[in-house]
Structure 1
Amino acid sequence: MQNERLRTVMTAGGWTHADLANATGVDPKSVERWVNLGRTPRRVTAIKAAESLGEDVHALWPALRQARAARAVSPELVALYDQRADLPVSTFIDLFTQARERIDVLVYAAVFIHEAYPRLNDLLRERAAEGCSVRIAIGDADSENVQQRGKEEKFGHGIESRCRLALMHYRALFGVRGIELRTHGTTLYNSIYRADDQMLVNAHVWGVNACGAPVWHLRRNGDGGMFASYVQSFEAVWNTAHPVLEGSE
C-alpha cells in the first residue's frame, strides 16, 4: 500500500529517493519501499526524514504514534490509540484477513476502509468462501440518529451521504453466501470491528469525527469482560437492524 502523503510531499519539494536517502543515511531502495510499499522506517530515521522534508513525522507515518501499553488495566486490552487516524488501514485489513469464523462490523459508514483498500469486498468474499460468517451493519441515512450525528459533528448531510456511499460500496456483496448486510438507526456509541476473538472499538465522542476519537484493541480473555459487552452490543443492534435488499439505495 503506497504512502501517498510521503509521495506528495517529496514531489512538491523536488525530492528524489536518492536525495532523501542521503539526508537520512539509508539506501535509496529503503526510501522507495517507504513510498511504494507503505513501509514505516524506524522512529529515529522517520524523524530525520520528516525534519528534512519540513513535515510532521506523524502526518507521514501515523503508525509511529505509539499505542499505549495495556499494563495491568485489563488482560483483554491489547493496545489503546489516541485516535483512529493513528491506525493505518492495514490494521483493519490484517484483522479481517486473520478471521476464520466470523467478521462483524457495526458502523455508520466507515468508508475510509474501502477508499484506502479497494479490495475490501474481495477480501470479504474470500473469507466467506472459507466458511467465515460476515455481518455488516451500516447506518440508515434516513434515520433520526444519523442525521443528528451530522449536526453534532457540524458535518451537515455529510454523514448521511457517507452512509449512502457505504451502501454503494457493499452493493457488490448482495447475494453472496455467508455475507449479510443490514442498516440500523441506533445511537451509535462505538464503531465495532470484530474478527473472531479480536476486536477494534472506535469510541464516539460528542462533536468529534470518529477519525479523531480513541480506539482500543481487545482480545477475548475467557467469558465475560469488555469483549463480551461489545459482542452483546453488536447483537442487540443487529437484531433491530433491517436487511438490505438488492437494488436498495
Structure 2
Amino acid sequence: MPNERLRAVLAAGGWTYAALAKAVEVDPKSVERWVNLGRTPRRATALEAAKALGEDVHALWPALRQARPARAISPELVALYEQRADIPVSKFVDMMTQARERIDVLVYAAVFLHEAYPRLNDLLRERAAEGCTVRIAVGDADSENVQARGQEERFGHGIESRCRLAVMHYGSLTGTPNIEVRTHGTTLYNSLYRADDQQLVNAHVWGTNAYGAPVWHLRRSGDGGMFDTYAESFNAVWATATPVQQEG
C-alpha cells in the first residue's frame, strides 16, 4: 500500500525521490519503495528523512511506534563462512554473472579474484555492456590506513604493493561505459562484494589477513536490513574516493 502521507509531503515541499535520497544518503530506489510500496526504512534513516522534511517521523511511518521483536538471526543471512578461503572463487563470479543492475566492490586489494579468474575484467565489461553499473573501490597504497593495515596483519609493505596491483588490474576498465574505478584511504572494516540484491561481506579481524576472516552472504529482503547497512557504507566510502584516471 502506498504511503500517501509521505507522497503528499514530498509533493508539497517540491521534493524529488533523488533529492530526499541524497539528503539521507540512500539509493533513490529506496525512497521510491517508501512512497509507492509503503516500505518502512530503518529507524535511523527514517529519523533523518523526517528531520529533512520537517515532519514527525511517526506520522510518516506509524509502524515505527511498534517495538520490533528481537531476532537471533537476520532473515537476510543466507550463509556464514568461517573464512573467505572456504569460498570458491566461482561463488563471486556467479554472483557477478547474474547481476543485471549493479556490481559494487569495496576492498583494499582482493587480487585473488583476478589471480583465480583472469576473465574478471571481461566479465565486468560484459555486464556493463548490458546496462549494469559497475563501481570498484580499491585501496590507496599511499594512505595511512592501508599502511597501518599492513603492519597490523604483519604483511608489511605487501598490502601496499597488492593495492597497486589491484589498480593495475582494474585500471584497464577506466573509460568503459557504466564502469568506474576509484581509490580510497578509509579504514576498511569489511570488504564488500555486491551483485544486485546479493552481497558477500568479508569481515576484517585485527591481525588476520582477509582470507582468514569470516564472510556472511546476504540477500536483501527489504528496506533497513543488514544488506542496506552495508550498501550504505559502500556509498559513504565511494563518495570520498578518488577516480582512477584513464591512461593515455
Fold-level match, TM-score > 0.5? yes
If asked which structure has higher relative contact order (CA below 8 Å, sep 6+), I would say 2
The structural deviation recorded for 1:172 is: 1.6
Aligned to 1:86: 86
TM-score, with structure 1 as normaliser: 0.70
1:244 and 2:248 correspond: no
The structural deviation recorded for 1:95 is: 0.6
Look up the equivalent residue of 2:179 and give its one-letter code: I
Structure 2 segments unaligned to the other structure (5+ residues):
1-70
Q: Deviations over 1:149-196 (max 9, x none)?
A: 000001000000000000111122111000000000000000000000
Aligned to 2:161: 161
SS at 2:172 equivalent = helix
Look up the equivalent residue of 1:145 and give its one-letter code: N
TM-score, with structure 2 as normaliser: 0.71
Mapping of residues 204-219 of structure 1, within 5 Å: 204-219=204-219
SS at 2:74 equivalent = coil
CA distance in 2, matches of 1:180, 1:191: 18
Look up the equivalent residue of 1:129 and give its one-letter code: A
Aligned to 1:121: 121
CA distance in 2, matches of 1:162, 1:173: 18
1:95 and 2:95 correspond: yes
Please tell me whether the aligned partners of residues 171 and 181 of structure 2 are also in contact (alpha carbons under 8 angstroms).
no
SS at 2:95 equivalent = helix
Please tell me whether the aligned partners of residues 132 and 178 of structure 2 are also in contact (alpha carbons under 8 angstroms).
yes
1:185 and 2:217 correspond: no
SS at 2:181 equivalent = strand
Identity %: 79
1:136 and 2:114 correspond: no
CA distance in 2, matches of 1:116, 1:237: 27
SS at 1:104 equivalent = strand
Q: Deviations over 1:120-158 (max 9, x none)?
A: 000000000000000000000000000000000010000
Look up the equivalent residue of 1:166 and give its one-letter code: A
Please tell me whether the aligned partners of residues 77 and 216 of structure 2 are also in contact (alpha carbons under 8 angstroms).
yes
The structural deviation recorded for 1:247 is: 3.0
Look up the equivalent residue of 1:142 and give its one-letter code: D
Q: Deviations over 1:183-218 (max 9, x none)?
A: 000000000000000000000000000000000000
Please tell me whether the aligned partners of residues 173 and 179 of structure 2 are also in contact (alpha carbons under 8 angstroms).
yes
Structure 1 segments, 4+ long, off by >4 Å, are: none
Please tell me whether the aligned partners of residues 171 and 244 of structure 2 are also in contact (alpha carbons under 8 angstroms).
no
Please tell me whether the aligned partners of residues 191 and 202 of structure 2 are also in contact (alpha carbons under 8 angstroms).
yes
CA distance in 2, matches of 1:139, 1:247: 19
The structural deviation recorded for 1:72 is: 6.0
Look up the equivalent residue of 1:238 and give its one-letter code: W
Two-structure CA RMSD over aligned residues (Å): 1.2
Aligned to 1:104: 104
